């Protein structure tokens, strides 16, 4: 993807924030992803005998993390979305682990909106449950991918394409930083001539 001035606009922040909720495939993929993550989180909380939370308190951090996943994942190499049905469970778990920082940011946003402006404190057990739920959800979806209805699979693929596009244009992506540095050098060279 060639770097153009359109890729560097400040409005991209707003577009990334609303894009998961604008197109029907992105919206349905997000709903499916959040539902799966909430279900896995609920089961893990029951197994660990942890504090039970309301469904809204389990779901909203995942919803708020959707616009952040691709951008935060820009720091790592993001896998191609077409590999969902062929990827090994180990690779799926790695992709889930890469999404954990975005979940923590989404949870911080949700807690601040509920409890007021202060930095939420976490217990190690709470973070562990969130991490395990995030890591296990992706392989669960990957294992069920071939047997799920085509419409559901297309929605998950659309969400993966969205995350990949966000990761490719993230400022954390090394390739994008290199392209921007080359663009600045070319711009400075053209100004000198």
Closest CA to 165 of 5, 12, 9, 11: 12
- Return the higher-pLDDT residue of 9 and 101: 101
40-97 tens-digit pLDDT: 999 998 898 888 888 888 889 988 888 888 777 666 655 554 456 667 778 788 888 8
Contact 150, 165 (CB under 8 A): no
- Return the higher-pLDDT residue of 43 and 21: 43
Residue 39 has pLDDT above 90, yes or no: yes
The pLDDT of 5-20, averaged and rounded, is 55
- How far apart, in whole angstroms, are the C-alpha atoms of residue 41 and residue 122? 16
Closest CA to 33 of 165, 162, 168, 167: 162
- Return the higher-pLDDT residue of 29 and 19: 29
What's residue 11's pLDDT? Answer: 52
What's residue 8's pLDDT? Answer: 47
Residue 25 has pLDDT above 70, yes or no: yes
Contact 172, 74 (CB under 8 A): yes
Question: Which stretch, 7-11, 84-88, 89-93, 115-119, has highest mean pLDDT?
Answer: 89-93
121-179 tens-digit pLDDT: 777 888 898 899 989 988 888 888 888 888 888 887 777 777 777 776 666 656 666 77
- Return the higher-pLDDT residue of 17 and 9: 17
pTM over 0.85: no
Residue 9 has pLDDT above 60, yes or no: no
Instruction: Report the interhelical angle of 24-47 vs 55-72 (nearest 10°).
Output: 120
Contact 186, 19 (CB under 8 A): no
């Amino acid at each position: 993807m060639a770097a153009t001035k359109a890729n560097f606009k400040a409005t991209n922040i707003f577009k990334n924030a609303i894009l998961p909720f604008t197109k029907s495939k992105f919206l349905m993929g997000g709903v499916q992803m959040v539902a799966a993550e909430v279900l896995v989180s609920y089961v893990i909380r029951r197994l660990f005998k942890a504090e039970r939370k309301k469904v809204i308190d389990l779901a909203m951090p995942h919803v708020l993390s959707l616009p952040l996943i691709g951008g935060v994942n820009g720091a790592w190499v993001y896998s191609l979305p077409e590999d969902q049905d062929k990827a090994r469970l180990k690779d799926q778990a790695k992709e889930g682990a890469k999404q954990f920082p975005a979940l923590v940011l989404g949870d911080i946003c949700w807690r601040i909106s509920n409890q007021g402006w202060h930095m939420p404190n976490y217990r190690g057990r709470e973070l562990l449950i969130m991490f395990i739920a995030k890591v296990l959800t992706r392989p669960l979806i990957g294992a069920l991918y071939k047997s799920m209805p085509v419409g559901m699979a297309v929605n998950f693929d659309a969400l993966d394409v969205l995350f990949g596009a966000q990761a490719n244009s993230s400022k954390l992506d090394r390739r994008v930083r290199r392209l921007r540095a080359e663009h600045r050098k070319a711009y400075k060279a053209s100004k000198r001539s």
